Structure 1
Amino acid sequence: MVVSRVWYLTRRPEGFPRKDDFTLKEEQLPPCGDGEVIAAAEYVSVDPYLRYRARQIELDTVMTGTAVCRVIESRNSEWPEGSYLVHNTGWRTHTLLKKESLESSSYFGGCFRLPDYHGLPRSLSLGALGMPGNTAYFGLLEICKPKEGETVLVNCAAGAVGSLVVQIAKLKGCKVIGFTGSDEKVSYLMEIGADHAFNYKTTPIGEALEKAAPEKINCYFDNVGGQFTAEALPHMADFCRIAVCGAISTYNDESKDIGKISMTSPYSEATILWKQLRIEGFIVVHWQDRWTEGIEQIKQWITEGKIKYRETITDGFDKVPDAFIGLFSGENIGKAVVKV
C-alpha cells in the first residue's frame, strides 16, 4: 500500500495567493496494474503560470504542477524501478501513472525520461534543462531573433527564464540590459554577464534605459507586462521584436483574468504603429517537437561553462505552497523548486 500526500486547491485565490487556499491531504493509491508504475516525487516545481491555473482548475482537486519522479514500483518493462521521469503529476508525493500517460510525450500530461546529465542535478529538468530553459531558448532565438551587436532588454531577469535569456543573448553577441527586484539580484545579473542591471524598485525604468540604451532596444523579452512595459515601450527601436513570455505583474489582478474584457494595456497602439514593432506572445509547447534540441544545447553550454544556473531550493513537501507564494514577492533567484 502506497500513501501519497497531496496538496489540493480548496479555495480560489483572490489577489495574492495564501497558504490556506490549499489543503494537505493523504490518499491511498490503487495497486499498480499492468503497464503502470508508481512514482515518488523527488523535486516539485513551482512556476508563476500556476497562478492562472489556480483560476481554471476545479476546486477540491489536486493543484497542478510538474515533478521529477523516481519509479518505485513498476509493471511496465519500459520504465523499470529506479527510472527517473518528469511528469505533470501535480503537487503530490506519489503518483500512479497509467500506461497511456507513460507513452505520451505531451508536456502537459505526458512523460519525459531524464537523460544522462553527466553529474548535473536532476532538479535542473524543472529549470534550465526543462520547460524554463526551453522557454528562454526558443522564445529568444525564434521570436526575438537577436543579431550580433543588437541590444536586448529582459525583465524579471534573475528568474528561471530571464537569467537564461540574459546569458543566451550574450552568447549571441548582444548588449544585454536586465531589470530585477533587489540589489542582490542586480549583482547576480552582473555576475552572469549582463552589461547593465537595474533594480526596478529603486531606479526609474525610463531614466535607466535612456542612459543604458541611447541606441534604443532591438529585442525585448517581456516577463512582466503592466507598468514596466508601458514605461519601456518608448525606448524600443524601429522594428523591435518583442517576445511576450509572461505578465507576472498582472497575475494576482483578477481583472486581468483570461477571457475578461479589459480596456487597459501597456502596449500603446501609436508606438506600435510608428515604430513598426513586432509583438508575439508564445507558449513553449509550440516547439514540443524540438524539445530535446533546446535541452541538449543548454546542457552543452552549461558543461562548457558558458551558462551558469541558479536554483532556490526549499526543503520539505509541506512547504510547496510557501515556495509558490514566494514567487510573487521575488524570494527566488533562478528556478524555484521544492525538494520532497
Structure 2
Amino acid sequence: MPRNQQILLDNRPQGEATAGNFRLVASDTPALQDGQVLVRHHYLSLDPYMRGRMNEGKSYAACQSLGQVMIGGTVGEVAESRHPAWAVGDAVVGMGGWQEYSVVDGNAPGLLRKVDTSHVPLSYYLGAVGMPGVTAWYGLVQIIDPKPGETLVVSAASGAVGSAFGALAKARGCRVVGIAGGPDKCHYVTDELGFDACIDHRAHGDLKSMAAALKEACPDGIDGHFENVGGHILDAVLLRANAFARVALCGMIAGYDGQPLPLHNPALILINRMKIEGFIVSEQMQVWPQALAELGALVASGRLRPRESIAQGLAAAPEAFLGLLKGKNFGKQLVKLI
C-alpha cells in the first residue's frame, strides 16, 4: 500500500487563518478490507466553506476536528478495489479530504460517485459540474426562481459558483450583473462568461460607491441576488432591490474571520417585501441529478466556460486556500496532486 501525505488541522485560527493552522504529515495507507476501495486523488477542491469549519462553535455543520485530515472534495481514480461495484481505473468524485489517497467504504451510499470524463474534464466535477455548480443551480432555480427579462446580481461572479450562476441565468433569459475583484476578473465575467455587466468591488469599496455602481448597472433595479460575500455588497443590493426581490444567501465570506456583519438598513427587507433565504446545498441532494445534467450540457455546449486556478502538490494547499479567502484565485481553486 502507498505512502500517503495528509494535511491536518493542527490548531484553530485566532481571527485570520494562517498556514500555521495546518500540519503536513505522512502515513502508511492501511491494507484494504473486504468492501473497501482505495482512491488516488488527482485534484483537491478548495472552497470558502472550509474556513467556517475551522472554527469551534455553532454552525450549519460540525466543525473540523483537530488532528484530523482537513475536509474537502476530491476527484481521482480507483487504485485498488475489494468491492465488485468499483473497478481499478474508475474515475470518481468524493470527499477524500486534503490527502493523496483515501480508503472508502464501497457500500456506503453517497461517498463515491462514478463520473464520465469523455465530454467533461475530471477537474470540472469539483467546480462547474460539481458542488459549486449545483449550489448556483439551487439558489437560482429554487430560491430566486427568475422570470425572463429580470435583472439578477451575483457576487464573487468570476468564481466557480458565480460563473455557473451566470450561465444558468443567461439560459433563462435574464439580465445578469456580476461583482468581482479587479479589471481582469470583470473582463472575464463579461467577455468570456457573457454577463451583461460586471462591477469591480475593489474600485467600489464602500456602501455609497457600490450602491452608485449598482444603480448604473441595474437601471431597472434588482429582482434577484445570489450572495457569496455579505458586508457592504449586500447592503448596496438592498438599496437597489425591487419590490418582491429574492436573495439566495449562500456565503458570507466577508465575515469568515469572526467579525460581525450587521445590516445597514434591514427595514428595506420589509419595505420591499423581500425574500432572503439561506441554504446548504448538501441538504438538497434530491436536486443534484437534475442540476448536474443541465450543468454538464452547458459545459459540453461551450455555454459555460469555467476557469481554474491550480496549485501544484499537496503542500501548496494551505497557501492556496488562504489566497482563495483573499480573492487571489481566478475561477475554481484546485490543488493538483499527481
TM over 0.5: yes
Aligned: 1:316 with 2:334: no
Matched with 1:77 is 84
User: Deviation string for 1:42-89 (max 9, x for gaps)?
Assistant: 100100000011112221111111111211111111111111211112
Contact 1:38 1:95 in 2 (8 A): yes
Give the match's secondary structure for 1:154: strand
Aligned match for 1:62, one of 53, 56, 69: 69
Deviation, structure 1 residue 269? 3.1
Aligned match for 1:248, one of 253, 268, 276: 253
Deviation, structure 1 residue 11? 1.4
Matched with 1:93 is 100
Take 2:100 and 2:295, find their aligned partners in 1: how far apart are those partners? 29
Aligned: 1:113 with 2:114: yes
Runs ≥4 residues deviating over 3 A: none
Letter in 2 for 1:205: M
Deviation, structure 1 residue 314? 1.3
Give the match's secondary structure for 1:323: helix
Matched with 1:129 is 129
Deviation, structure 1 residue 195? 1.2
Deviation, structure 1 residue 119? 3.6
Take 1:152 and 1:15, find their aligned partners in 2: how far apart are those partners? 33
Deviation, structure 1 residue 21? 1.0
Letter in 1 for 2:94: H
Matches within 5 A, 1:207-246: 207-246=212-251
The percent of aligned pairs where both chains have the same amino acid is 35
Contact 2:163 2:304 in 1 (8 A): no
Take 2:106 and 2:24, find their aligned partners in 1: how far apart are those partners? 27
Contact 1:178 1:194 in 2 (8 A): yes
Aligned length: 325
The gaps in structure 1 that reach 5 residues or longer are: 257-263
**TM-score, length of structure 2 as denominator length:** 0.93
Deviation, structure 1 residue 329? 1.6
Take 1:140 and 1:159, find their aligned partners in 2: how far apart are those partners? 16
Contact 2:311 2:334 in 1 (8 A): yes
Matched with 1:265 is 262
The gaps in structure 2 that reach 5 residues or longer are: 56-62
Matches within 5 A, 1:152-167: 152-167=152-167
Letter in 2 for 1:123: S
Contact 1:229 1:267 in 2 (8 A): no
Give the match's secondary structure for 2:7: strand
Letter in 2 for 1:292: P
Take 1:200 and 1:11, find their aligned partners in 2: how far apart are those partners? 32
Deviation, structure 1 residue 236? 0.3
Take 1:255 and 1:198, find their aligned partners in 2: how far apart are those partners? 25
Matched with 1:36 is 36
Matched with 2:58 is none
Give the match's secondary structure for 1:221: strand
**TM-score, length of structure 1 as denominator length:** 0.92
Letter in 2 for 1:224: V
Matched with 1:52 is 52
Contact 2:245 2:273 in 1 (8 A): yes
Give the match's secondary structure for 2:136: helix
Take 1:87 and 1:274, find their aligned partners in 2: how far apart are those partners? 44
Take 2:275 and 2:225, find their aligned partners in 1: how far apart are those partners? 10
Take 1:330 and 1:51, find their aligned partners in 2: how far apart are those partners? 14
Contact 1:233 1:267 in 2 (8 A): no
Deviation, structure 1 residue 255? 4.3
Give the match's secondary structure for 2:305: coil
